[in-house]
């Protein structure tokens, strides 16, 4: 099974710093390059990461606060000037169609083929190899969190295939699809020569306060990415501004039985005290990492 690669193009909060750009998370799987949120200056972050923005296939917007979307006009401009030829699919909460329309009007003339879908909570976008799901979050404006899940695959047991002397033919494809076959006048059951390779799950939860849907989207994720705008000592402020603390992010990971937690959306107030952010989360969930711009991980 191919890995999912996650590149953090931006890991900052509302105010960018010399070390952190506004939010942008690029998920790469096979031919898909999916950008989750598009902070200001994202096209430059692509360049720094040595990734061509022209490889983009989809953009998912969590919500329309400025620090998560102001990179869209510049990105559209860069794609147009790079002769981008794909149909760029853009997904986001209610209001996305209107906001994209305003951006394209601002750019006056833009030769990019855009397909817009306003995503409602519970929506599943299903492709051959993966599923992307959305759940509603709590941030004072229509906000979504997303999961990206590679489907389970049925694999052939090569030793058993060899033992039965099955030829390399369409018969193998039938077995791999779960269909029994007849070979040498004998029935070969798919369940006897195959095994299930479990898929992988990535969950992305950005700006939100605690809510009932968080565990649903995060459940059993191999990698959980959450915002971590505040420390627990400022929990009241986090609640007021509808954000998460590092401790809350760790509690989510633990309850959801995630395998690894990555903290992002780091406030400038903690830029020179990142070990404290990490320590707070690790007290609850050991396998935690605070990322910086241009870090990448694979699952």
Name the residues annotated as catalytic: 67
Structure tokens at 114: 């855009």
The DSSP bridge pattern shows strands 194-197 and 153-156 to be antiparallel
Instruction: Please name which of 278, 220, 276, 262 lies closest in space to residue 36, comparing C-alpha atoms.
Output: 262
Judged by DSSP in three states, 167 sits in coil
Instruction: Please name which of 287, 34, 237, 118 lies closest in space to residue 9, comparing C-alpha atoms.
Output: 34
Up-side HSE of residue 193: CA atoms within 13 Å toward CB? 25
Structure tokens at 216: 């649903």
**Residues 29/130, Cβ–Cβ less than 8 Å:** yes
What H or E segment, with its residue span, contains residue 98?
helix 96-106
For the chain, report the end-to-end CA distance as a whole number of angstroms. 10
């Amino acid at each position: 099974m191919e890995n999912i690669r996650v590149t953090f193009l931006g890991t900052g909060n509302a105010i960018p710093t010399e070390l952190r750009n506004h939010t942008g998370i690029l998920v790469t799987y096979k031919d898909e390059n999916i950008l989750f949120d598009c902070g200001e200056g994202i096209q430059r972050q692509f360049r720094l990461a040595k990734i061509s923005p022209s490889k983009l296939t989809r953009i998912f917007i969590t919500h329309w606060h400025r620090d998560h979307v102001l990179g869209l006009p510049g990105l559209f401009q860069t794609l147009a000037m790079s002769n981008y030829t794909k149909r760029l699919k853009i997904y986001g909460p209610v209001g996305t169609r209107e906001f994209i329309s305003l951006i394209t009007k601002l750019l006056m003339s833009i030769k990019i083929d855009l397909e817009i879908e306003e995503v409602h909570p519970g929506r599943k976008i299903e492709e051959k190899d993966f599923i992307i799901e959305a759940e509603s979050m709590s941030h004072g404006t229509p906000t979504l969190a997303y999961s990206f899940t590679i489907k389970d695959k049925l694999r052939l047991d090569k030793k058993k295939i060899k033992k039965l002397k099955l030829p390399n033919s369409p018969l193998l494809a039938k077995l791999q699809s779960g269909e029994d076959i007849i070979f040498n006048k004998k029935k070969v059951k798919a369940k006897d020569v195959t095994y299930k390779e479990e898929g992988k799950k990535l969950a992305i939860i950005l700006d939100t306060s605690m809510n009932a849907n968080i565990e649903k989207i995060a459940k059993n994720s191999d990698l959980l990415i959450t915002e971590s705008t505040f420390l627990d000592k400022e929990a009241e402020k986090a609640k007021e501004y509808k954000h998460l603390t590092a401790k809350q992010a760790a509690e989510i990971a633990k309850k959801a039985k995630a395998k690894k937690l990555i903290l992002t959306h780091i406030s400038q107030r903690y830029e020179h005290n990142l070990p404290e952010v990490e320590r707070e989360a690790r007290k609850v969930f050991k396998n935690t990492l605070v990322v910086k711009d241009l870090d990448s991980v694979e699952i």
